[in-house]
Amino acid sequence: MVYVKHESKQKTKAINTALNFCIAVFQLQKLNTVNNTTEKFKATAEFAAMMDNADTLKSFKQSFFFPQHKGNDVIYFCGNSLGLQPKSVPAAIETELKSWRELAVGGYFGGENPWLYYQDYVSPSMAKLIGAKNNEVTAMNTLTVNLHLLMQSFYKPTRQRFKIIMEAGAFPSDQYAVETLVKLNGFSPDETIIEISPREGEKLIHEEDILSAIKNNANELAMVMFGGMNYYTGQLFNMKSITEAAHAVGAIAGFDLAHVAGNVPLSLHDWDVDFAAWCTYKYLNAGPGATGGLFVHEKHAGNIDTPRLGGWWGNDEKTRFKMEKGFIPKPKASGWNISTSQVFNMVSLKASLALFDDAGIDNLRKKSVTLTNYLEFLLKQLSNISFEIITPENNDERGAQLSLFFKQDGRRIHDEMHNNGVIVDYREPGVIRVAPAPMYCSFADVYRFYEILKNFK
């Protein structure tokens, strides 16, 4: 506390409060400029409160509904599985219900948000999040469906060039999608799929091992299809270098961004990534089963001869209603649209993206780095439980998630968290994933999590 002499105690208190706020802002700015700074952190509730007072994004927490635990909001560290519901969603859904109720089929061309163009309402905001041009992004289907459709377009194997590189331990849907794609094209998964694993005794994949595998299979490689971030360890991969390496040997580079979109800023267009897909129900808070997003680089999207499976909604809008033979795709990513926009599966996404527009992904990332570093600092103060943080220490190699590996008691500690109103998730074998999403998580939340672990017996 800073003390100032003044004739009025009330004015003294006000001045002290203002000075302490300025100090907190300075502290937060300083922490944001240093990679993995821990020397200025303090394991106290007062420090956490000071950081929250200085947080320019703190008001966004009030924009979400939280599950309740004993009459209080839970501490929600599970946005990497399912994001919270924005409070703007019920009214947004009612808007479309009203259009349906009052206009019926007329809702496609009238009402507040004519449904004919619904996918276009969310594309610009998603483009900002992933570093793309508006014409390179669209919303449709769900993540794995979009991966299948994109790989159908870009995996063109020959007897000489047919192999696919992916991460070992990728999310099962990715494994299944690649495996069945290979079989569909008449190849053996064992001979076609090259999985990059952590080195013996390690849990993270070395970037040099990915790049070496690409180079060593240069003449046979057709595609690299990696997760942008590993769901289990939280390792963020260098998509720029992977793309450059793939292109250097004549292969396609695609990514599953399920754990990246809305978590870490990207530059897909500048990195020259060929394609990507993501879900919107995790960090993007669009609700269970929400419409997925996809990216197709304009060098492919603008070429209507790029192979794809077509549908009515991807056809050029100038000729769509002529009902004639001959698929003429729109010369942009929405040329991959197949069916009518899933309006009620996009409403929540549209509402959530408005919050991202207001907050700014770069601002969210700055807060996320400091918040996650603070979580890491507090976890390293614990001596009563044994675990390993298997997520990379380098901020450039991780997002909001820290994965804690427990050789024992992992499930029991997970359950204890839930019993105390802290929502995290458990993944076999032995990992508790903790993801303080910066849009609605605070430094006080992180400190409370630490307090509960500190008292665990």
Structure tokens at 268: 């897909």
- CA distance readout (Å), 8 to 13, 14, 15, 216, 451: 9, 10, 11, 75, 38
Cα–Cα distance for residue pair 153/149, rounded to 1 Å: 7
Bond preceding residue 429 cis, omega within 30 of 0: yes
Delimit the CATH 3.40.640.10 region(s) of the chain: 91-358
Would you state the pLDDT for residue 35?
47
Q: Output the tens digit of pLDDT for each of the chain's 457 residues.
A: 333 344 454 544 444 444 454 445 455 555 544 445 555 999 999 999 999 999 999 999 999 999 999 999 999 999 999 999 999 999 999 999 999 999 999 999 999 999 999 999 999 999 999 999 999 999 999 999 999 999 999 999 999 999 999 999 999 999 999 999 999 999 999 999 999 999 999 999 999 999 999 999 999 999 999 999 999 999 999 999 999 999 999 999 999 999 999 999 999 999 999 999 999 999 999 999 999 999 999 999 999 999 999 999 999 888 888 888 999 999 999 999 999 999 999 999 999 999 999 999 999 999 999 999 999 999 999 999 999 999 999 999 999 999 999 988 899 999 999 999 999 999 999 999 999 999 999 999 999 999 999 998 7
Q: For residue 304, with 0-12 CB atoms within 10 Å meaning exposed, 13-18 middle and 19 or more buried, which class applies? A: middle
Q: Are 368 and 399 in contact (CB under 8 A)?
A: yes
Cα–Cα distance for residue pair 313/42, rounded to 1 Å: 55
389-390-391-392 Cα dihedral, nearest 10 degrees = 100
Counting every residue written for the chain, the total comes to: 457
Q: Are 278 and 333 in contact (CB under 8 A)?
A: no
| Strands 431-434 and 402-405, bridge-based pairing | antiparallel
DSSP tag of 118: H
Would you state the pLDDT for residue 15?
47
- The fold of 91-358 is Aspartate Aminotransferase; domain 2 (3.40.640)
Would you state the pLDDT for residue 317?
84
Cα–Cα distance for residue pair 86/63, rounded to 1 Å: 6
Would you state the pLDDT for residue 210?
98
Phi, psi (rounded to 5 degrees) for 203: -120, -10
Delimit the CATH 3.90.1150.10 region(s) of the chain: 9-86+360-454
Per-residue 3-state assignment (H helix, E strand, C coil) for 202-239: CCCCCHHHHHHHHHHCCCCEEEEEEECECCCCCEECCH
Predicted structure pTM score: 0.90
SS3 315: strand
Would you state the pLDDT for residue 321?
82
Could you please report the per-residue DSSP string of 372-422?
HHHHHHHHTT--SS--EE-S-SSGGGB-S-EEEE-SSSHHHHHHHHHHTTE
Q: Regarding the domain with residue range 9-86+360-454, which homologous superfamily does it belong to in the CATH classification?
A: Aspartate Aminotransferase, domain 1 (3.90.1150.10)
Q: For residue 190, with 0-12 CB atoms within 10 Å meaning exposed, 13-18 middle and 19 or more buried, which class applies? A: exposed
Other beta carbons within 10 Å of 397: 16
Q: What is the helix (H) or strand (E) element at residue 427, kind and residue range?
A: strand 425-427
| Segments of 78-220 assigned E as strands | 85-86, 137-140, 163-167, 193-196
Per-residue 3-state assignment (H helix, E strand, C coil) for 288-313: CCCCEEEEECHHHHCCCCCCCCCCHH
311-276-171-307 Cα dihedral, nearest 10 degrees = 40
Nearest to 423 by CA among 9, 75, 55: 75
The gap from C-alpha 211 to its chain's centroid, in whole angstroms, comes to 24
Q: What is the helix (H) or strand (E) element at residue 368, kind and residue range?
A: helix 361-379
Residues 6+ apart with CB under 8 A from 270: 131
Q: Are 15 and 45 in contact (CB under 8 A)?
A: no
